[in-house]
Amino acid sequence: MNDLPNTHRETQALVLIAEDEPEIADILIAYLKRAGFRTAHALDGRRALELHQTLKPDLLLLDVLMPHVDGWKVLAEVRHRGNTPVIMLTAQDQDLDKLMGLRIGADDYIVKPFNPAEVVARTQAVLRRTSDYKYVSASSVLRVDAFEIDIESHEVTVRTAGEALTLPLTATEFKLLAQLAKAPKRVFSRAELLALCSPESDSLERTVDSHISKLRRKIEDLGLQGVPESIRGVGYRFGSVT
């Protein structure tokens, strides 16, 4: 099943989903579409290799237990062909399986059952750091309300009461603020923020609350309220200065 919208194809990454359970594939397709991705679907490993060859996807979501050709063999062949980013999907939550995938060349590893929103966030994170696909704005400086965020220098300037003040942040606090600023009206779940801002970390989602709390206190120390904004039961968004 292919889902290749006609609009804005040149700006949307194509994700190939290799998954033999149609229900899981349909959920992933729906969530990826909502996030602006194009998708293609393969029901078995052989078809996944065919579509990888013809469509040249930007990223491959690859189930391990696939008919005809299993996920490990698909991954090995994809790596032989080139550097397509690959995220492994598997119900086998064992360190040996994870190490095998990473050794062969997987970029990330997600254990079933998973939150599809987290899969989308991990997809975005892998694309941001591995491919030529530009998920983030090409501009290196983000300006939202009183904030000026320089992505390259990792510096944040806040303009308040006629002054330009530097906001001292840790690396994680900076990543969180920058991610929220890229889509200031969007609400990000804790799982999304964890995957986007700390993809290699084994931290729990509640650590996001701690980082956000420290970030908010530093901003309040400069006399500004409302950033970041908590959305009860959902997550966080940039908010607006009060």
With tokens 């492994």, the residue in question is: 88
Domain range 2-130, CATH architecture: 3-Layer(aba) Sandwich (3.40)
pLDDT digits (tens, 9 = 90+) for 150-189: 887 889 999 988 889 999 999 889 989 988 988 888 888 8
As a CATH number, domain 141-237 is 1.10.10.10
- What pLDDT score does 2 carry? 44
Residues 6+ away with beta carbon under 8 Å from 82:
none
Give 164-209 as a DSSP string: EEE----HHHHHHHHHHHHSTTSPBPHHHHHHHH-TT----THHHH
Query: Start-end ranges of CATH 3.40.50.2300 in the chain?
Result: 2-130
Q: Which residues contact 213 (CB under 8 A, 6 or more apart)?
A: none
Provide the greatest CA pair distance for the chain: 66
What pLDDT does residue 49 have? 95
Angle between helix 171-182 and helix 190-197 axes, rounded to 10 deg: 120
pLDDT for res 4: 39
Amino acid residing at 70: D
pLDDT at 93: 61
For CATH 1.10.10.10, the residue range(s) in the chain are 141-237
Confidence at residue 216, expressed as pLDDT on a 0 to 100 scale: 96
Q: Is the pTM of this model over 0.85?
A: no
Query: What residues of the chain score a pLDDT lower than 70?
Result: 1-11, 92-104, 131-139, 198-203
